[in-house]
Amino acid sequence: MKQILKGIMALLLAAGLAACGSSGSSGSHASSPASYSGSTNSLAAADYAKEEMADYELGVAMAPSPSEEARGTSEEQPGVTGVKLVYTGSVTIETLGYEDTVKNVRERIKQYQGIIEQENEWDGDHSWYYTDGRGRTTNRNISLTVRIPTKDFDNFMNDMDGAGKVTSRSQNVENISRKYSDNSIEIESLELQQTRLLEMMEKAETVEEMIMIEERLSDVQTKLNQKKSYRSSMDTDVEYSTIYLNINEVQEYTPVQSPGIEIGGFGKRITETLKNSGKFFVYVVQELILFLIRIAPFVIAIALIIFAIRAWRKSRGLDPNPFRGKKGAKSVLEKADKTDVGEVKK
């Protein structure tokens, strides 16, 4: 406002000096030193006023808006290039050496100053308690949710190629500049409301006024804290990219499917099929033998129980087989009677 008043005063001064110079020149055709000096001063004042107004307009045009001050420039936020970008990636890795790969990935996360937000590991193998030297029956896998500084996002994604066989890779970029700007404007509005309510609180004269203002102030402050928390979350997402890692243990790598039919491929497929069939046959035989070994104690125990029952029933003169029908039991008794009669005759 002061700059505007200063410019207006300069224009009025220039106009007055110009009027005096024109009146002096009308009284005399010859230019006297005084009239020349007056015209020179008027031009200088006019130029000065124009410069002042230009500087003021330039200052207004170059002055950052409140939303821009709230967002900040890209130089104030490392890793952000002008706009607010959120990077998300996903990598799936197959490995034959599970422990080494997991250790390697953890070391690379630490190298890039990353953070493991979430970790889930699964191992359903139960062969560890067997003493027959069998191998693992199931494979292990682990899933990691990692936050990596955005400036190292591409480097980290490329380094995963050395951790194992990468079977899938994807990445996504989301521009949240508009969302961030809207959030900053809302924060400024709430901060302005908070300031005005605090001023009204100081000027309140009755208890009712204070209660009403306090309720409104509490609502504004709650919304303000929520908006600031959301902006802080967006800042974190911009500064740290999210990468989802899945590491799967395999016995052999997944073969790459060729787009066309190769010459001689059928013979190769037959060879692979026979090889896999042989492995499967050996596996089935081993499992059958192990199954028989597992149930052997139960079979022996059942056989002993049946033998004891038969011996007890035989000592009592009963049919040794309790499951035999009535006809069978009668024939056994008749046979026993005949035997006893024969022994008496002798």
Same domain, 143 and 188: no
Query: Sign of torsion, CA 122 128 129 130?
Result: positive
Q: What is the mean pLDDT of the chain?
A: 73
**Above 80 in pLDDT, residue 295?**
yes
**Above 80 in pLDDT, residue 18?**
no
Q: Is residue 255 part of a domain?
A: no
pLDDT tens per residue, range 152-190: 999 999 999 888 889 999 999 999 999 999 999 999 999
Q: What percent of the chain has pLDDT over 90?
A: 40
Same domain, 51 and 108: no
Q: Is residue 49 part of a domain?
A: yes
Pairing of strands 85-95, 165-175: antiparallel
Calculate the dihedral angle through the C-alpha atoms of 190, 193, 199, 205, rounding to the nearest 10 degrees. -120
Q: Is residue 81 part of a domain?
A: yes
Q: Is residue 300 part of a domain?
A: no
Containing structural domain, residue 149: 74-176
* The most confident of 45-54, 192-201, 313-322, by mean pLDDT: 192-201
Is 121 in contact with 248 (CB distance < 8 Å)?
no
The pTM (predicted TM-score) of the whole model is: 0.51
Same domain, 169 and 187: no
Same domain, 163 and 89: yes
pLDDT tens per residue, range 177-231: 999 999 999 999 999 999 999 999 898 888 998 999 999 999 999 999 999 999 9
Is 249 in contact with 139 (CB distance < 8 Å)?
yes
Same domain, 146 and 122: yes
**Above 90 in pLDDT, residue 86?**
yes
Angle at 54 between CA 53 and CA 60, to 5 degrees: 90
Choice among 68-82, 114-128, 221-235 with the minimum mean pLDDT: 68-82
Structure-token pair, residue 43:
């031009």
Query: 123: helix, coil or strand?
Result: coil
Same domain, 49 and 102: no
Is 140 in contact with 98 (CB distance < 8 Å)?
yes
User: Residue 334: which pLDDT band, with cuts at 50, 70 and 90?
Assistant: low
Same domain, 188 and 167: no
Of 112, 119, 117, which is closest to residue 154 (Cα–Cα)?
Answer: 112
Same domain, 80 and 149: yes
CA distance 244 to 227: 28
CATH number, position 102: 3.30.70
Q: Single out the residue in 188, 213, 238 at which a domain terminates.
A: 238
Of 188, 174, 194, which is closest to residue 228 (Cα–Cα)?
Answer: 188
Same domain, 136 and 170: yes
CA distance 183 to 237: 15
Same domain, 10 and 32: yes
Structure-token pair, residue 345:
């005759």
Q: Is residue 231 part of a domain?
A: yes
Query: 66: helix, coil or strand?
Result: helix
Q: Single out the residue in 176, 205, 224 at which a domain terminates.
A: 176
Structure-token pair, residue 258:
């060729």
pLDDT tens per residue, range 240-271: 999 999 999 987 776 655 555 555 567 777 87
Q: Single out the residue in 20, 40, 63 at which a domain terminates.
A: 63
Which helix (H) or strand (E) covers residue 234, if one does?
A: helix 207-239
Q: Is residue 103 part of a domain?
A: yes
Look at residue 323 in the predicted model and tell me its pLDDT. Answer: 64
Split into its structural domains, the chain has a count of 4
Average pLDDT over residues 322-337: 56
Q: Is residue 260 part of a domain?
A: no
Same domain, 92 and 59: no
Q: Is residue 297 part of a domain?
A: no
User: Residue 40: which pLDDT band, with cuts at 50, 70 and 90?
Assistant: very low
CA distance 147 to 114: 5
